[in-house]
Structure 1
Amino acid sequence: MSLDFKLSNLLGTVYRQGNLLFTPDGTSILSPVGNRVSCFDLVNSSSFTFTYEHRKNISRIALNPQATLMLTVDEDGRGILVNFVRRTTIHHFNFKERVSDIQFSPDGRHFAVAAGRHIQVWKTPNRNDDRQFAPFVRHRIYTGHYADVTSITWSNDSRFFLTCSKDLTARVYSLIATDSSAATILAGHKDSVISAFFSQDQETIYTVSKDGALFEWKYISKPKRLGGSTQSKEEAEDEEQDEETDLDANGNPIEYKFRWRIVNKHFFMQDNAKVRCAAFHAPTNLLVVGFSTGIFGLYELPEFTNLQILNISQNDIDFVTINKTGEWLAFGASKLGQLLVWEWQSESYIIKQQGHYDAMNSLVYSPDGSKIVTASDDGKIKVWDAISGFAIVTFTEHTSAVTSLQFSKKGSVLFSASLDGSIRAWDLIRYRNFRTFTSPHRIQFTSLAIDPSGEVVCAGSLDDFDIHLWSVQTSQLLDRLSGHQGPVSSLCFGNEGGLLVSGSWDKTVRIWSIFGRTSNVEPLQLQSEVMSVAMRPDSKRVAVATTDGQLSFWDPELGKQVGNIDGREDIAGGRHLTDRFSAANSQRSKHFTTLCYSADGSSILAGGNSKYIALYDVANEVLLTRFTISRNMAIDGTVDQLNSKNMTESGPLGLIDTSGEASDLEDRIDNTLPGATRGDASVRKVRPAIRTTSIQFSPTGRSFAAASTEGLLLYSVDELLIFDPFDLDIDVTVDTTLEKLAEKDYLIALVMAFRLGERSIIHQVYESIPFQDIELISRDLPQVYLERLLRFISSISEESPHIEFNLLWIQHLITYHGRFMVQRRHEFASAMRGLQKFVSRIGKDIIKLSRTNIYLIRYLTGGVATIDSSLLEGMDVDSDEQENREVVPTNSMGVEHEEDEDEDEEDGWFGPESRTEGINGKSATSGSDDEGVSEAEEDE
């Protein structure tokens, strides 16, 4: 089993805080998810997560115009420069202040950072420049604001940039030192200025304030009167303020012939709603504004024409941005974790994703590995596509926290257990709840197990010591298994024999035969409370995790222990913020809470209330590797050492409430109930703790998923074939391989490509083989390369457009080597599951396509006969010409089908039977059915 598992994606969390960013081509969007960055491809419906991590949650991200360098900054001002193409970290840097905005110039040579009250402009690292000691070289620091800077906007020529601040002003700065006279102050707003923008010709500036005011500025000689000859008192004061002159270093007034002045004032008028964010697309003059009520408005400037107003969220819209073409608008709402991309012209969503509001409790893979289902404390069940990373559907029928999930072994049926006292069965084809199981007494179910046949579902609770069994077909309670003296914490079914394993807090594990209604063996006595049980896929071993940190392995037939692993030191995590001792002396996280066997049963994954996930070899009882799920210091349990400078007389520095010092009134108001700990969760002051609540291997065995505090983490093995030096000869090179391919020695070229191990060469040789030779090459392929070829086909099948080509390879390889593969099924299990996943996806797509086009086909086949008869009746031609007339079928676009007569008769696509069959199965001609058939035969 390969141990090279690496983080490939982060699901369950699509947006946390900070800014959203479109790539320069406008087809992908970058979103900060905690201390990582996820990239969503909106065209190909796929996503991935960068593997690097920040020390704390990311607050700002920026991408240069060439899409080669990405700069991300966390809450403490620590930045990381990343090669966006290769997804590798280049440099770490500390800006030493909280960064509120960061923007690259349009030419990509500089980037500006808003750090506190100052603006730092740095030169972008460039390999063509002279070698510097540090990658970041500072150009200049700009000062002048009296409060924190909120945003930065560059001009199109990269010569000037606009800054906004909480001091109610916006300022214009020049990048060139000789243009220092161009610096000016744009004052006049009565609340914090959140955004400022240049027009396309840079002759106009638009500023947006928090109170909903939009000012239009022009570079003119003297101000224009607003509203005719009469002015209100406020407008007169604003005009007087505009007419005030600046002072030089000696205190003398500076006279300007031209200056920026307000020419128009507009107000959004959204019933006391505050403006949270704004974005401007200069080529189309579109302004998008997000409000605190979850409403966004789309306006066309300079006329201030309202194009759209839409409510898209129940909470604040924290950030909005526009792609390069101005067609897509991206919104982020941090309180609910929403990410929305809206196409305003067609008024439709490109993506509409939302993560879980609370912590996830359970996860499970679908039998084919294409879907991942997660459950959370918010009472929602989300189905995620394992390939694209997008949520497919959300179930909200449960009224309380969902604690456990299980798939039936056959079919697309999902079962869920909840604290609302119900077990629900879900149909993942029609996406509906078709069964609900309840007990005679209201108890909260916390564990769940499904019989392999899918006929019996059982559940355990922390309130009741019995195990409840229901019939899936009738929804009737069949039995209650009594015997445990404490709450049932975990349940698990074996794949054979109908054995049910239950673990309890009474320090015992019981094995039941549900069809015999008896206990198979005596209770297995342990030393501590049982947290989780897992049965090996062949039902020959049972793994038990207890609160003393031990992993014990038992034989269910003999009822005796056959192995033990001490995992206390392996799972021991970091310290919490309130701890006054080190992590080594903590006992809170030194045990496992979730277990999962691998597909072949040779290894086992274990996780708990720790930042580590341990992978053990069961046969040798040794630790193979540990995975660190997060290094985010904003979460408890990730730091190992005690930092004394963060401890004060009033407690830890991170838990001191500093909201009373906030500058905005709404940030200082505390609406929580006194003494409430589970009231309004959106304003709670508690820090989350790192933990892993559920772990599952994928059916293919090439990846596993972990439900953690950070979200749903997907770890996968690198699919590239490993270079094998033992199979390498001197004559096997890239050139010689391509020579054999040019000579049409396809089998030799394919074997040489596998011996080289270069994926690109393998792919080139594989797709160069003619489909007529696939059967011959499959028959003569050496069996040592069979597993590698199957795994390669499985890896490229998700993206390859050659569906029939891949299916032919699969068919002939299984035909000639199927018996050998059955004898060594453990070696080919992973590759075959991947192929099964590909074939099932193709089958689903074909069924969906055929269902979509069936009525169109019936219409076309029925409409052709009608048109033919009408043409023949309406035209004045001889009977001989009518008999010899050839009817040319056309599709819905009026394009003629150039098909042979033999192909038509074989396929029946536009044959005589299909021409006369209407939508209701009757003749589409004006005469009777017999007449229609005879006319069609005559036409043929």
Structure 2
Amino acid sequence: MKTDFKFSNLCGTVYTQGNLLFTPDGNSLLSPVGNRVSVFDLLNNKSLTFPFENKKNIKRIALSPNANLLLTVDEDGRVLLINFQRRVVLHHFNFKSPAEDVQFSNDGKYFAVTLGKHIQVWKSPGFNREFAPFVLHRKYTGHFDDITSVTWSNDSRFFISTSKDMTAKIYSLHPMEGFTPITLSGHRNYVIGAYFSADQETIYTVSKDGALFVWKYNPFNEIKSDENEDDEMNIDKKEDSQLAKKWVIASRHYFNQSSTKVVCSAYHAASNLLVIGFSSGIFGIWEMPEFNNIHTLSISQKKIDSVTINATGEWLAFGSSKLGQLLVWEWQSESYVLKQQGHYYDMNTLSYSTDGQNIATGGDDGKVKVWNTVSGFCFVTFSEHSSGVSVVEFAKNGQVLFSASLDGTVRAFDLIRYRNFRTFTSPSPVQFTALAVDPSGEIVCAGSMDTFEIFVWSVQTGKLLDVLAGHEGPISSLVFSPSGIELASGSWDGTTRSWDVFNRGKHVEVFRHNSDILAIVYRPDGKQLATSTLNGQIIFWDVENGIQTGTIEGRKDISGGRRVNDRTTAANSSSGKSFNSLCYTADGSCILAGGNSKYVCLYDVKSQLLLKKFQISHNLSLDGIQEFLNSKNITEAGPFDLIDETGELSDLEDRLDNSLPGTQKGDLSARKTRPEIRTKSIKFSPTGQSWSAASTEGLLIYSLDENLLFDPFELEIDITPKSTLEALHSEEYIKALIMSFRLNELYLIHQVYEKIPPENIGLIVKDFPEKYIEKLLKFIASNIEESPHVEFHLLWIMKLLTIHGKYLRQYSNQFSSILRSLQKAIGKTLEDLSKICDENTYTIEYFLSLKDQ
């Protein structure tokens, strides 16, 4: 069993806070998700989350014009310098105070960062190994309040800053004779954005109260401004004021959105488009300098936090942190390029489809979402439930998804037509906390929190078949055995019961524990049952004999991290020291366990030893990450992190608090306490190549590191790449193939495999040693999606399954994950081919019609 699982992607969270960025080619969008950065490839419909993490939630990101360097700045001003192309962290730096904005100059030689009332301009680092990659160029002062944004001119000689002191200032990058910083004043609320036009003769400034000022430059000051003559008389007759008079207000415009504020803005100089996002969830597009309104649309009920425009000016990206929503809109065709939103509240549960290609998640917001593991996107959302979803389960056969909720219903969803086709309810209203579907997909069972009963329904008719009673506490977990004959249930009454759903005459077997049961799971062969208890133990039972075969003491493994308001040390804290989710690996040799902690533990079942601990997050913005608290963060009023500073915010809507006091669930952004790191559910992929965790951060996917360079198998001294190729040229195909598998060099296996003539495949497979079948099937499964030789691969698969079918059936448990990944690869190829065939049909018809003409 390989344990080198590495973080590969984050689904379920698309935007949390900060600014959005398009890459220079305009095809990809960068979005901050907590303390990580996600990249959404809009052309290939894929998403990727970088593996590196900032210490806290990211506040600003900046990308150099050549897309080589990426800067990510967190809430405390700590910076990561990243090689964007290779996804590698080059340097760590600390500005030592929060940064409101970071912008690279258009020539890429400098970047400006706003720190409070000051602006620092730094020279852009290179790729060479340097003692100090960050070199300060100059520090600029002059504002009387915090600076909100900075924008560079097209020639990178000037930049303009906006501030909460209701002014904008123009600075020069290098000292210029006779030039002093120019102040543009006149707004009645703080300025959130200022932009140069393409010819640099016009400046647009946008304030929070919805005013837009157009400033024109004239060295002779001939333009008549809208200002009163009295205002002009009050200007001091000094040299610097003469320079300032060269920039005059040519016109004033107002967005006229009643009772809303401007939150964000973006300007595209090439097409003169100004995009404004409002606190009411409305955005507008104006054409400058005429101020023609092109569109005004509402995209959500919450405020738009960030807006950006791609290089061509065709796509607009919007981020809303309250909803966790990310939109990319093509304004000319008025259509969505991308529309993604995570769960509004906590993500409670997850389930893999049988081919491992899709993951379903359920949340406290009552929504069921289905995510594609390849693209990382959600492709369908079901919102029929009226309360939190406790459990989701895929049916083993067919495209059906089941969900159980606290609203007292179990629902079945059709993933072909995307509809809720069955709703199962109990005779009296109860809250469902557990769900199980038998392997045939004919029977669905749900356990209740209130009456401690298990309800059994028929999927075909929707009728209630049976009610199983006997537990004396809420049902925490339900699971069918792989054979589908037995149903196991775990309860807070400290017992696990094994029921025969199809034969009520059989005795119900009871496994007693010393503590409440939190999770139960069958081993893939159905011969072993693992249970997790509240006292931090994982207990293994022999199902046939009903005896306990082993115990793992996991309290010390899962414990870690201390909450800010804890009065005891992390070692003495009782919270979070048990596993609330268990899952066997595909081959049943290991078990994965997670709970209300930052750790996920992987144990070997046979030796009952801890193999590896995965820390799912290092984000200090979450509670329960730090092992020790720093005494300097303790004030007379308690921990500094818990002091409520919302009363000091400038806007009424930000000061208002609508959250219920003491609530532990709900909108994490409105809670009085910080969100806590925890794992709600863990599942292994049926292919065995990855596992996922539903956590506070979102849906984390960990995959095996496929970049292992050299992992030989039964290597001998005379087996070398040279001797392997010699055997291949001598047409000793079976010998060459075995030698390449022994060396385990991917390029060599590929070379030998591709050179084998199709007519020899049957003979080679017949004499092929059985111990290499697993490696050959795994290679074909990974290669089939990328290679154009579809028939060649199918010949290999058909011969292997026909000739070695008996062996594969005998060791089905060992080969189950590989066969599933093979099925997934064939299914994907079929999907791609059918799409190409459909497209080609119309093209051929078109050419045939041309021939007739």
TM-score using structure 1 length? 0.85
| Alignment CA distance shift 1:582-1:896 (3 Å) | farther
Asked if 1:569 is matched to 2:549, the reply is no
Q: Residues of 2 paired with 1:30 and 1:449: CA distance?
A: 39
CA contact (8 A) 1:521 1:558 kept: no
After TM superposition, give the deviation of residue 117 of structure 1 in Å. Answer: 1.1
SS in 1 for 2:583: strand
Shift of 1:798: 3.9
Q: Find the aligned partners of 2:179 and 2:721 in 1 and give their Cα distance.
A: 62
Structure 1 position 456 matched with structure 2 position 443 = yes
Q: Which residue of 1 aligns with 2:453?
A: 466
Q: Distance in 2 between matches of 1:806 and 1:711?
A: 37
Could you say which residue in structure 2 is the equivalent of 1:213? 211
Kindly provide the CA deviation profile for residues 226-255 of structure 1, in whole angstroms up to 9, marking residues without a partner as x: 5xxxx6xx75566557x44567xxxxx654
User: How far apart are residue 670 of structure 1 and its match?
Assistant: 4.3
Task: Output the CA distance in 1 between the equivalents of 2:197 and 2:730.
Answer: 61
Matched, 1:408 2:407: no
Which protein, 1 or 2, shows the higher relative CO under an 8 Å CA cutoff with sep ≥ 6?
2
Q: Decide which of 123, 138, 158 is 2:136's aligned counterpart.
A: 138
Q: Per-residue deviation at 1:354?
A: 0.3
SS in 2 for 1:537: coil
TM-fit CA distance, 1:259:
2.0
User: Does the aligned pair in 2 maintain the 1:512–1:518 contact within 8 Å?
Assistant: no
Within the alignment, does 1:152 sit opposite 2:150 as a pair?
yes
Partner of 1:864: none
Amino acid at match of 2:392: L
2:624 aligns with 637
Structure 2 Cα separation of the partners of residues 779 and 182 of structure 1: 85
Residues in 1 aligned to 2:264 and 2:661: alpha-carbon distance in whole angstroms? 32
Q: In 2, Cα distance between the equivalents of 1:726 and 1:445?
A: 49
**Letter paired with 1:147:** D
Matching residue of 2:846: 891
Secondary structure of 2:193's counterpart equals: strand
Q: What is the identity, as a one-letter code, of the residue corresponding to 1:108?
A: G
Deviations 1:332-357 (A, max 9, x none): 00000000011112111111000000
Q: Equivalent residue for 1:515? A: 502
Counterpart selection for 2:196 from 195, 198, 214:
198
What per-residue deviation string (whole Å, max 9, x for no partner) do you get for residues 93-137 of structure 1? 110011111111222221111111111111122146xx6422211
Residue 717 of structure 1 corresponds to: 704
Matched residue, 1:340: 327
**Kept in 2: contact 1:511–1:519 (CA 8 A):** no
Equivalent position of 1:787 in the other structure = 774
Determine the C-alpha separation between the residues in 2 that align with 1:517 and 1:58.
57
> Does 2:531 align with 1:544?
yes
Q: 1:597 to 1:288 in 2, by over 3 A?
A: same
Match of 2:15 in 1: 15
Distance across 2 between alignment mates of 1:750 and 1:553 = 41
Matches within 5 A, 1:275-354: 275-354=262-341
Alignment deviations for residues 61-109 of structure 1 (CA, whole Å, 9 cap, x no partner): 1111222221101101111111222222221111001111111122222
Structure-1 separation of matches of 2:385 and 2:287: 44
2:81 pairs with 1:95: no
How much has 1:695 moved relative to structure 2? 0.5
Give the secondary-structure state (helix, strand or coil) at the position aligned to 2:179: helix
SS in 2 for 1:584: coil
Determine the C-alpha separation between the residues in 2 that align with 1:47 and 1:731: 45
Q: CA deviation at 1:57?
A: 0.6
Distance 1:465 1:254, change over 3 A: closer
Q: How many angstroms apart in 2 are the aligned matches of 1:65 and 1:749? A: 49
- The verdict on how the C-alpha distance between 1:643 and 1:64 changes in structure 2, with shifts beyond 3 A counting, is same
Q: What displacement does 1:279 show? A: 0.9
Partner Cα separation in structure 2 for residue 218 and residue 89 of structure 1: 43
- Give, in whole Å, the separation in 2 of the partners of 1:675 and 1:363: 27
| 2-structure distance, mates of 1:893, 1:258 | 70
Q: Cα offset for 1:828?
A: 3.5
Match of 1:482 among 450, 469, 472: 469
Please give the alpha-carbon distance, in whole angstroms, between the structure 2 residues aligned to 1:624 and 1:201: 63
Match of residue 513 from structure 2: 526
> Cα gap change, 1:776/1:95 in structure 2, threshold over 3 Å: closer, same or farther?
farther
Secondary structure of the 1:694 match is strand
Report the RMSD for the aligned CA atoms in angstroms.
Answer: 2.9
Counterpart position of 2:123: 123
Structure 2 SS opposite 1:788: helix
Matched residues in 2 for 1:185 and 1:769: separation? 75
For the 8 Å contact 2:785–2:828, the answer to whether it is kept is no
Distance in 2, matches of 1:670 and 1:37, equals: 29
Alignment of 1:657 with 2:644, yes or no, is yes
- Written as runs of structure 1 = structure 2, the 5 A alignment for 1:147-186 is 147-178=145-176, 181=179, 183-186=181-184
Q: 1:724-735, aligned counterparts within 5 Å?
A: 724=711
Letter in 2 for 1:225: K
Counterpart of 1:76 in structure 2 is 76
TM-score normalized with structure 2 length:
0.94
* Contact 1:720 1:759 (C-alpha < 8 Å) held by counterparts: no
Match runs of 1:368-517 below 5 Å? 368-496=355-483, 498-517=485-504
8 Å Cα contact 2:713-2:743 kept in structure 1: no
The answer as to whether partners of 1:356 and 1:380 remain within 8 angstroms in 2 is yes
**SS at the partner of 2:571?**
helix
Q: CA deviation at 1:791?
A: 2.1
Number of aligned residue pairs: 852
Structure 1 spans left out of the alignment, 5+ residues? 248-252, 861-888, 899-940
Q: Which residue is equivalent to 1:27?
A: 27
8 Å contact from structure 2 (residues 387, 407) kept in 1 = yes
Q: In structure 2, how many angstroms separate the alpha carbons of the residues matched to 1:442 and 1:514?
A: 22
Does the C-alpha gap of structure 1 residues 820 and 470 become closer, same or farther in structure 2, counting only changes over 3 Å?
Answer: closer
Give the secondary-structure state (helix, strand or coil) at the position aligned to 1:181: coil
Q: Is contact 1:327-1:345 (8 Å) kept?
A: yes
**CA offsets, 1:154-180, max 9 Å, x none?**
122222211111111111112113367
By how many angstroms is 1:688 displaced? 1.3
> Which of 331, 338, 362 is the aligned partner of 2:349?
362
Q: Write the deviation string for residues 44-69 of structure 1: whole angstroms up to 9, x where unpaired.
A: 11111111112211101111122222
CA 1:640/1:699 → structure 2, altered by over 3 Å: closer, same or farther?
same
| DSSP-derived class of the 2:556 partner | helix
Letter of the 1:7 partner, please give it. Answer: F
1:834 Cα deviation after fit: 1.2
Picking from 616, 628, 645, the partner of 2:603 is 616
> What's 1:904 paired with?
none
2:17 equivalent to 1:62: no
Q: How far, CA to CA, are the matches of 1:603 and 1:462 in structure 2? A: 30
In 2, Cα distance between the equivalents of 1:147 and 1:257?
21
Alignment of 1:857-876 (within 5 A): none
CA distance in structure 2 between the aligned counterparts of 1:624 and 1:200, rounded to whole angstroms: 59
Give the 3 Å change call, closer, same or farther, for CA 304–787 of structure 1 in structure 2.
same
SS of 2:626's equivalent in the other structure is: coil
For structure 2, list consecutive stretches of 5 or more residues without a partner in the other structure.
none
The AA in structure 2 aligned to 1:267 is Y
Alignment of 1:813-892 (within 5 A): 813-844=800-831, 891=846
What is the rounded CA distance, in whole Å, between the counterparts of 1:773 and 1:235 in structure 2?
A: 93
Query: 2:583 matched to which residue of 1?
Result: 596
Residues 100, 897 of structure 1: alpha-carbon distance in 2 compared, 3 angstrom cutoff? farther
1:223–1:791 distance in 2 versus 1, CA, 3 Å: farther
Q: CA deviation at 1:585?
A: 0.9
Which structure has the greater CA radius of gyration? 1
Residue 679 of structure 2 corresponds to residue 699 of structure 1: no
Question: CA shift at 1:816, angstroms?
Answer: 4.8
| Matches of 1:801 and 1:285, distance apart in 2 | 46
Q: Distance between the aligned counterparts of 1:786 and 1:238, measured in 2?
A: 87
Letter in 1 for 2:287: E
1:113 alignment partner in structure 2: 113
Over 3 Å counting, the alpha-carbon distance change for 1:72 and 1:821 in structure 2 is same
Would the alpha carbon gap of residues 326 and 751 (structure 1) be closer, same or farther in structure 2, given more than 3 Å must change?
Answer: farther
